[in-house]
Amino acid sequence: MSLGSPTKYWWDEPLDPYEKTWVWAAGVFCVLITIAMPFWHYTGDQNPSQEYYKISPEKFDAATERFITAYKVGEEQGIPVVVPPPKSDIFIRAHQFGWEPILKLKVGQSYKLHLGSMDMNHGFSLQPINMNFQVVPGWDNILNITPTTTGVFHIVCNEYCGLGHHTMIGKLYVE
Amino acid sequence: MASDNFRVCPTTGLKVDFSAQTLIKLNAFTAIVFLLVGGLLGLAIVLTRWQAVHLLTAELFYRALTLHGIAMLVAWIVFFEMALLYFTSAILLNCRLAVPWLGWLQYILMLVGGAIVTVMVLTGNADVMFTSYVPLKAHHLYYLGIVLFAVGAILGCVTFFATLGIAKTEKTYQGSVPLVTYGAIVAAIIAILTLAHGAIFFIPTWLWALGVIPMMDPETYRLLFWGFGHSTQQINVAAMIACWYAIGTLTVGAQPASEKFSRSAFALYAIFICIASEHHLLVDPGISAAHKEWNTGYFMHLAVLASMMHAFSVPAQIEIALRKKGYTKGMFEWLKKAPWGDPAFSSMVFSVTGFGFMGGITGILYGTEQLNIIRHNTIAVPGHFHATVVVGTTMAFMGITYYVLPLIFQRQVAFPTVAKLQPYVYGVGMWIFCIAMMFVGGFGVPRRHWDITAAESLFKGELSFGPTVDLGFAVVAIGGVLAFVGGAMFVLNAVATVAMGKKVNQ
Amino acid sequence: MSNLKEEHRPHGTAMLVWFFFASLIVYYLLSWKFLTGIWKVG
């Protein structure tokens, strides 16, 4: 009984065949799902950031401003719309409570996306494709992305960042 | 030991130390009060996220969400675990409680800490969520309250280990400690490790809120927070599984199928479970892929292996016990003849299956480095941890409460019919709630979000998660309301029992 | 437990855990399938 002390030589009692089979199957499964992660890291097309730097919010802000000035084509709702060339470094700045700029990307082209925050932790959640990345103040989270679908996407903040958290929505186009 | 310091339990023949008994009663009762508070907040939250009702304002919603997390995950569960620690040491080992004043200090510190935190959140001084990621800043007393609470919990663990030492030297038990106590030891070891982790970052954060030192790097905070925040959930896992074994014995007289098997699984928890905490940081900057994979892999998922071992041995011990009672026809006669009317038994079945099928499976999925990209911070994550911590831990604790009431409070359950139905109402409600939340999360719906229609944003009217998600939230709300009713049945029955239940003959 | 009589061995549990194992593997593989539906990233 589990509420009382066990019999004296409990560690000598052999296991039932069912228990043995189960623990082996479970053990093999555990090893396989561990290996799956490095396997996909080297062979798969969907992986989290492999590159990141410490950067002050001021510096990230300045880099974003330079990027906007270089490739700005217009404005929407007062937010700059930017068309960067493929294979370039692109920036999205998160702050309480918005995302800038609005990017227009080309489908099938790769970009080096830099995500940075001016203040709090924010969550970069691209919808409806549903890709989620953490944006941390003081860090540049770099993602090599290749949009594979076209359309209008919205960036929802999915990390609580203050009382206006739910108003923090950004936009992104893929053509 | 003077005989006036204990009574002899008429059911089990165990000596019940009076100071242990009082502390168990106080901790368990306080836990249930917090469960009531957290439950009311939970109801308000679920009715807010169901956008057709949208009950609370944004400010109140975030405040309620902060307090809901603290009242449930911290206060209800840790107070109850303190009661379990005293029960599995002093009572099960037939021993006196070591240093009763330390136990009292545990209770007072946790109560004061919990009260400070509650007041700070309610007064709007800490709208920072349970995780309080810096640079979000709460009033400095909020952090102090958490530190006091954690110190109290550490003292409870110290009292537990000191009691084990006394039991060993005074030879109050023969051979090895019972399996349930063994599980509690694992829980207490993990508790001390993780609470120490908590101190490493909560104290500097408190000093930062006081303006004494500069702010910690936000990513470092996240790493340290989850070293505490995720690992503390492993305390709950170990305590919950100890309860499963205990309930198996109490309801059908089960014996562990194999002591060696079950104890090895508990040992795997103690060794490997504390490694992991970076599940929360899989899509973060600042940590290499190699580190993430090693860390969230629990070194080859050996803690997952432990859970899968318990997944076999917990039902197996019940099956063997029932088969020995003569229910040997076919595969499942034992299951049909099981005591489904015993609320402890039915709670445990919901707990085991819910923890395994919902919490366990989704835990493995969402904790995989790449798969986290499509689930990080979506509402599927609260779906997962409600399956582990609510269906799993909370239902196991509710189940054991139905035995703590007669054995420790010495009262017969006030409304036996309500008790009989309660696990079904609560369990079914929580199952619906969790499954619907994980389903909705698959569409990318964010967690901790007041308004997914983005009605107050620049892109008003453009964002929509679609009618499936709206329907999903209605199902979440139905499950949530049902669970609230089940939770209320539990709390009111427990309070009524303590206040006016018939005394058990001594 | 190996000294259990055949009729007392946990046959039902053995079946239930394999059912659990099957659901685990199905959901695990399905999740990787869903993952390949997103953009290329990494």
What pLDDT, in 10s, does the model give residues B261-292? Answer: 999 999 999 888 777 788 899 999 999 999 89
Residue A14 binned pLDDT confidence (cut-offs 50, 70, 90): confident
Judge residue B333's burial from the number of C-beta atoms within 10 Å of its C-beta, 0-12 exposed, 13-18 middle, 19 or more buried: middle
Residue pair A134/A121 in contact (Cβ under 8 Å)? The answer is yes
Residue B362 lies in a domain: no
Closest chain A residue by Cα to residue C36: A46
pLDDT score recorded for residue B278? 87
Containing structural domain, residue A147: 51-174
**Interface check C29 vs B, CB under 8 A:** no
Residue A2 lies in a domain: no
C-alpha radius of gyration, chain A, whole number: 24
Residue pair B483/B394 in contact (Cβ under 8 Å)? The answer is no
Residue B205 binned pLDDT confidence (cut-offs 50, 70, 90): very high
Q: Which one of B263, B325, B374, B435 would you mutate to disrupt binding with C, by most C Cβ within 10 Å of its Cβ?
A: B374
Q: Which segments of B132-217 does DSSP mark as H helices, in order?
A: 140-169, 179-209
The residue-averaged pLDDT of B246-264 equals: 93
Percent over 90 (pLDDT), chain B:
86
Distances (CA, A) of B445 to A71, A156, B267, B413: 32, 9, 38, 42
Please list every residue in chain A whose beta carbon sits closer than 8 Å to the beta carbon of residue C38: 46, 129-131
CA B250 centroid distance within chain: 21
pLDDT score recorded for residue A4? 84
Name the B residues in 411-450 with CB < 8 Å from any C CB.
442
Residue A107 lies in a domain: yes
**Residue B2 reports pLDDT greater than 50:** no
**Higher confidence at residue C1 or residue A63?**
A63
HEC readout, B65-110? HHHHHHHHHHHHHHHHHHHHHHHHHHHCCCCCCCCHHHHHHHHHHH
The residue-averaged pLDDT of A111-132 equals: 96
Residue B249 binned pLDDT confidence (cut-offs 50, 70, 90): very high
pLDDT score recorded for residue B452? 93
Residue B487 lies in a domain: yes
Token output for B288:
């290499």
Please list every residue in chain A whose beta carbon sits closer than 8 Å to the beta carbon of residue B378: 125, 130, 132, 158
Distances (CA, A) of B331 to A138, B181, B403, B457, C2: 59, 32, 29, 58, 19
**Residue B158 reports pLDDT greater than 60:** yes
**DSSP-derived 3-state class of residue A135:** strand
Q: Are residues B138 and B239 in the same domain?
A: no
Identity of the amino acid at B460:
K
Name the DSSP letter for residue A164: T
The residue-averaged pLDDT of B21-30 equals: 96
Name the DSSP letter for residue B242: H
Residue A4 lies in a domain: no
Residue C42 binned pLDDT confidence (cut-offs 50, 70, 90): confident
**Residue A90 reports pLDDT greater than 90:** yes
Distances (CA, A) of B120 to B32, B105, B113, B189: 21, 22, 11, 30
Contact criterion met (CB < 8 Å) for B371 and C20: no
Q: How many domains does chain B have?
A: 3
pLDDT score recorded for residue A1? 66
Concatenate the DSSP letters of all residues of C1-42 into one string. Answer: -TTS-GGGS-HHHHHHHHHHHHHHHHHHHHHHHHHTTS-EE-
Please list every residue in chain C whose beta carbon sits closer than 8 Å to the beta carbon of residue A145: 39-41
Residue B73 lies in a domain: yes
pLDDT score recorded for residue B302? 87
**Residue B22 reports pLDDT greater than 70:** yes
**Residue B76 reports pLDDT greater than 80:** yes
Closest chain A residue by Cα to residue B368: A37
pLDDT score recorded for residue B115? 97
Q: Are residues B201 and B320 in the same domain?
A: yes
**Residue A146 reports pLDDT greater than 50:** yes
Q: Are residues B20 and B96 in the same domain?
A: yes
**What mean pLDDT value characterizes chain B?**
93
**Residue A44 reports pLDDT greater than 60:** yes
Residue B297 binned pLDDT confidence (cut-offs 50, 70, 90): confident
The residue-averaged pLDDT of B433-446 equals: 96
pLDDT score recorded for residue B317? 95
Q: Are residues B21 and B157 in the same domain?
A: yes
Q: Are residues A116 and A39 in the same domain?
A: no
Q: Are residues A22 and A74 in the same domain?
A: no
Residue B368 lies in a domain: no
Residue B348 lies in a domain: no
Q: How many domains does chain A have?
A: 2
Containing structural domain, residue B234: 179-207+217-338
Token output for B447:
């967690």
- Sheet containing A72-76: which strands, arranged edge to edge? A72-76, A79-82, A102-105, A169-174, A151-157, A122-127, A131-135
Closest chain C residue by Cα to residue A51: C42
Q: Are residues B419 and B481 in the same domain?
A: yes
The residue-averaged pLDDT of B206-223 equals: 95
The residue-averaged pLDDT of B98-106 equals: 95
Q: Are residues B386 and B308 in the same domain?
A: no
Q: Are residues A23 and A87 in the same domain?
A: no
Residue pair B323/C7 in contact (Cβ under 8 Å)? The answer is yes
**Residue C2 reports pLDDT greater than 90:** no
Q: Identify any residues that bridge with B17 across adjacent strands, giving them in sequence order.
A: B6
**Interface check A88 vs C, CB under 8 A:** no
Please list every residue in chain C whose beta carbon sits closer than 8 Å to the beta carbon of residue B320: 1, 4, 8-10
**Residue A127 reports pLDDT greater than 70:** yes
